Structure 1
């Protein structure tokens, strides 16, 4: 027996520890910044699934974007772990936001009377980004933003899209292997996944497209932590058809980490989604850490998140901006 398996994942190093307990310690100073008014009737909504565990990081993420452009509607999806005090804090900092409680969302989704999609949605929290955004969106355009992100410079391409629309888009992870620590323990990953669902789907994509009469494709490196598309691009009829086939082919693997991102990728890439410039918008890794200062947007995921504590250091840069009126 590997003795390390007896130690809870959160205690296996500085990165797991900070991922589990570091949110308020590293990002709590965002609570000292002023609230930001947004527009609940805007043509673009920004949706995020937010857990208690990453509450302050989320406030950094959304405020770092709103600093540059706030004529948007902000929608927060409680993943089920937000406390009442968390919700009050969100409302203080984002007074015009729409905050959707998990219990309410569950009840509303059940009204679709689709037990299969309800099972898929409930299998892990990242699916809220896919299903609940589709259910609750009220705007012309949708942005999905993960909690572990930062905007360091004005994202002019994104602001133009928010105002004028255009093709769907996504940001990219660099080529090569990436370590991940979201929503599962690393020690169990190989046992649970065997082969990652995205690899299985890509390897079988020709047959999937033939069976569904579709032209699905996915760009290697597609990341769903920051994506934009028109309302109506994703619908439950297509999701049901796609997921039923994927379940028939791959079983319970569609209920595990990575399936939501792959599904977003299949649909958006098949509908003309374009990748944001990799030099400006990218997933942070050890290999590209030296480029972080020059980025417009960074997505901090997995074991890379707290590499050399660059993430909290850059959040200090954002904090100074937020405390200085534009």
Structure 2
């Protein structure tokens, strides 16, 4: 997959775009980011603005690989954001958010990608697009709040959603998956997020970064009354009864589905 990512025929991104998306990536995920972004850019014939945020490990060489596959992609480094983060989230007022961000790159998915104070659609890298995402394009055009939703029985949060709803006095959406999150960052109350971090850390014995970050984003988009995307935005778990469909907009590969993702699924993007 890494070798193939270096040999993709470039898709030049146009300034005349109908969708803007953002990724967080680094040394472990750069090739996955290329394939997800490339699959989307090819479907939209380059009419998409793509922002790629470094998790702190994205070297100039790796950035060059992404730029080669997607000319005009926007690469944002840690240094590019340092002044803005200090201004919006001074350490004296947001010690927990700042500490979490420094300790684990998963929290940069929230802080770095949402410090921009505007509407963005953030995407995980372990996904592939197979059809034009009209629902996301409409959401982008209309500034609407959407999220990807799991189909497993329970929510993948650090605390049960009914407990969070009661303690924080919000109507918590069930089974939010942060693979796709579309909302306006200007609506974030960062002081509320800091207090929520304190609440979660007080009530959760061990911080599991992916679940913790997903829970934080789920709380935010629930407060913003976000809606789930339609079923063609698929989350695959490699369940024995699971089948892909030609109408799938996107496939998000988690758990055992990582195996077909890394061996066969990505190959469909370059056929």
TM range (shorter): 0.7 to 0.9
Q: Does 1:132 align with 2:112?
A: yes
The answer to whether the 8 A contact 2:123-2:179 is kept is yes
Counterpart position of 2:256: 303
Shift of 1:233: 3.1
| 1:194-209 equivalent positions in 2, closer than 5 A | 198-209=157-168
**Corresponding residue to 2:179 among 221, 225, 230:** 225
Gaps in structure 1 of 5+ consecutive residues: 1-22, 179-195, 321-326
RMSD: 2.7
Distance 2:265 2:86 in 1: 41
1:323 is aligned to none
TM-score, normalized by length of structure 2?
0.85
User: Which aligned pairs between 1:257-276 and structure 2 lie closer than 5 A?
Assistant: 257-276=210-229
Equivalent residues in 2 for 1:2-17, closer than 5 Å:
none
Describe how 1:155-170 pairs up with structure 2 within 5 A: 155-162=133-140, 164-170=141-147
Runs of 4+ in 1 over 4 A off after TM superposition: 39-44
- Contact kept? 1:43, 1:141, Cα under 8 Å: no
1:244 pairs with 2:219: no
Counterpart pick for 2:269 among 318, 321, 325: 318
Alignment length, in residue pairs? 265
Gaps of 5+ in 2: none
Q: 1:52 to 1:291 in 2, by over 3 A?
A: same
- Of 130, 153, 165 in structure 1, the residue corresponding to residue 131 of structure 2 is 153
Report deviation, 1:48. Answer: 0.8
How many angstroms does 1:177 deviate by? 7.3
Aligned pair partner of 1:85 in 57, 61, 71:
61
Question: Residues 10 and 68 of structure 2 are in contact (CA less than 8 Å); yes or no, is this contact kept in structure 1?
Answer: yes
- Give the Cα–Cα distance (whole angstroms) in 1 for the partners of residues 18 and 119 of structure 2: 6
Displacement of 1:39 in angstroms is 4.9
Based on CA coordinates, which of the two structures has the bigger radius of gyration? Answer: 1
Larger proportion of helix: 1
**Correspondence for 1:53:** 28
